[in-house]
Chain A
Amino acid sequence: MERIIKNGIVYDPLNSIDGEQMDICIKDGKIVESVSEAADVIDASGKIVMAGGVDPHTHIAGPKVNVGRMFRPEDSKKDAEVITNLKRAGSGFSVPSTFMTGYRYSQMGYTTAMEAAMPPLLSRHTHEEFIDTPFIDHAAYPLFGNSWFVMEYLKDGDIDKCAAFVSWLLKATKGYTIKIVNPAGTEAWGWGGNVHGINDPAPYFDVTGAEIIRGLAEVNEKLGLPHAIHLHCNDLGHPGNYETTLKSFDVPKGIKANPKHGERDAVLYATHVQFHSYGGTNWRDFVSEAPKVADYVNKNDHLVIDVGQVTLDETTLMTADGPMQYDLHTLNGLKWANCDVELETGSGIVPFLYPPRAPVPACQWAIGLELFLLVNPEKVCLTTDSPNGGPFIRYPRVMAWLMSNKYREDMIENQVHKWVQKKTSVATLDKEYSFYEIAQITRSTPAKVLGLSETKGHLGVGADADVAIYNFNPEVQDQSADYAALEAALQNSAYVLKDGNIIVKEGNVVSEGTHGRTYWVNSLYDGELEKQVESEVEKVFKKYYSVNFANYPVQEEYLPKSCPINGVIQ
């Protein structure tokens, strides 16, 4: 199958293409140099062409997402779609059902989305939901930051065994990277507490958040994993937490990136940094410290961040940061689900409202924008930490805020609480993102830091033919003045191609749902050591786990389009 996308206005930062009018050729699902006369033609004149969007951090599959669906019928009611010849029925505004998740990402031109928190014990469920999420390529990040095994090995100072354990578990769960959430804190929650900062030890294990971050960063590079360690810092959402954030950023500094796949330079990926950039000591003297955090990110090469932009909607908070979710439940008094995942992690879920007129949510909105506007687009990815800061279907709106100072001014002057002008600097920032920079924060930067830039996030020869075409002509239309048209164009793509096939046309899904690729790390660190660790793990299973060891690993049969990435094999 050959295709040619003609005369589009192309933005492709990984290949330094900035708004050039050119043709994109596709053959057998890949971007190629040229095609024959017989190729199908898509006329993209006057339209924007980009690679498919890459979401490096979202919550779309697995047990906590499913609990979010079950315990919020009122969220399902807000957004529902009926069955068509091509599509399944679905519902959910902040936590859509699996099929709807696939459709909605595709409609926005996103073709890759990563589930950012997978409890290893429940990885089979996560992969089962991926099977039912059409179109988008995906991976899942198993949680390591509060694992008894990790803490035990790090307490003994045994980095080699810790690496062998991580290597084994990534294979067993078909996971992609090392995810760390509130290191030592979620384990402390198992005892009814939390840690404060990175130097508080977890009960019993006596290892601190800093030791866990450092140890796992070393493991990550020893194993040559494609992505950096993916860190959700301690103290999320607390006034004054930016100090913990900056200290956490400093921990893996000096470790050298060593990916065996891809070309990242960062050894740390810090997620939803908006929630970690607060000054003050309480909610009354609370201020934004986003400029300090942004300054650190710009001056240091060892990290990349995402924002976790607040979109000022009613949404559902869900995270493996169990104690933080309990705090939120006591704050807003709404219903709360809590879960302890045996020896591995925990989680909590709470409905949440971010009213624009309320002082703190308005500031959170502004702090996210400050980070976007102050950090170099090569070092920041667009996320809302969906659904935590807001549902992923708001990405087009976030892009419109970034591209239109006029839109932001209208928000600041007429829509949001005046604290935004008092406690944050957003009103003084007049930077407007270009389409090239939008392509950076939604395509090239995430693809590169994920270690997938060979085939994802760009339109160079050899890349997967994932292409988004938008009904917006920057030569005629003014992105800043006409931000409503911009948002609508980004929400409902003119065309979206997945592996060369047209899946969306004029905002509608026009293809039957196909399976996306599942990326996972096939790592074999040290045959002997890994076997030894596996037998140790098996003993612990017998003693403490509620499942039989043999029922734990996820077979490749669960991955209809398995895409293993090899790490270090010795």
Chain B
Amino acid sequence: MNEIILTPKEQPLVPIEINNIIPDVLAGKSIDDIKNMGIWHGNSQVRLHEFFDVEGESSENPSEIKIIINGDVYNTKRIGQGMTTGEILVKGNANMYVGVEMKGGNITVEGNVGSWAGQNMSGGELTIMGDAEDYVGSAYRGDWRGMSGGLLTVHGNVGSEIAEYMLGGKIVIKGNTRIEPGVHMNGGLLVIEGDVVARAGGEMKSGTIVIKGRVNEFLPGFRYLGVEKDIEVEGELIKGAFYKFEGDYATKGAKGFVYVSVAGNSHIAPF
């Protein structure tokens, strides 16, 4: 792996966007070329070196490139957008749209991220060690074709409407979610290890949601199918006892499944 290290100088008040700083684009470029690449600062273009010190070595082969953002970039957006291969490591927080439309490769953010992480991703692995805001693994605004592949993991808590219009792939949330995880979901697997505030799987048509924590409020549009132990979903065994629901019947012909852990959720079982 050849490392290209970007050390942030200072995060500006107006956000910067570095959607083109991905292994696919940096492959075959010299460090000087990379320093002079244009990035967006608000509505104007600036050179990468105005906001980052750049060092290291590139490679002809993008899969051999690891980009390390060596510090906190809380006001930098679109890290790893559309990448197909290679690696990106962010040693701090990042702003919105991390891993948007990612097709392959590997992104790890050690801190927290803003909304829309992994929007429309179709492959690769995106890992957030901290928290993420709303719309993790969602569809582009207005679209009905969301995340279709890849693995998205958030170790902390997330906001609302995650996995919106999800079609495929897998999302794992180790912490808690706010309202409407899996809204309009149409495929794929969403595993929530923490608690959910309300409305899991609202208007979902297909796919599977597994909730290991507590669900404060559950939607009425689901049919209760009984308790299942040690479930197998998408070829993976998940241990524990779960209430199984099918729905959301608010949507015609819906056949999505929601598993909610028996422990701590007696208030939602229909008996």
A residues near B, CB below 8 A? 71-75, 77, 333-335
Contact = CB atoms under 8 A, between A and B. Distances in A.
B142 A334 contact: no
Nearest to A82: B43
Chain B at the A interface: mostly helix, strand, loop or mixed? loop
A321 to B, nearest CB: 23
Contacts, number: 14
Contacts of A71: 142
Interface string B117-153: 0000000000000000000000011111000000000
Nearest to B143: A74
Nearest to A332: B144
Contacts of B142: 71-75
A71 B144 CA distance: 12
Interface of B: 140-144, 252
B205 to A, nearest CB: 9
A75 B145 CA distance: 13
A72 B140 CA distance: 11
A313 to B, nearest CB: 16
A-B interface, 8 closest residue pairs, ranked by CB to CB distance from nearest: A73-B142, A74-B143, A74-B142, A73-B141, A74-B140, A72-B142, A77-B140, A334-B144
A333 B253 CA distance: 11
Max chain B C-beta neighbours (<10 A), residue from A73, A74, A335: A74
Contacts of A335: 144
Contacts of A334: 144
A333 B143 CA distance: 13
Given A74-B141, A335-B144, 5 more contacts: A73-B141, A74-B142, A77-B140, A333-B252, A334-B144
14 contacts: A71-B142, A72-B142, A73-B140, A73-B141, A73-B142, A74-B140, A74-B141, A74-B142, A74-B143, A75-B142, A77-B140, A333-B252, A334-B144, A335-B144
A333 B144 CA distance: 10
A334 to B, nearest CB: 6
B44 to A, nearest CB: 11
A488 B144 CA distance: 32
A281 B132 CA distance: 53
Contacts of B143: 74
A487 B219 CA distance: 53
Nearest to B205: A333
A4 B190 CA distance: 67
Contacts of A72: 142
A351 to B, nearest CB: 8
Nearest to A73: B142
A75 B142 CA distance: 9
B135 to A, nearest CB: 14
A74 B141 CA distance: 6
A411 B179 CA distance: 47
A317 to B, nearest CB: 15
A72 B143 CA distance: 8
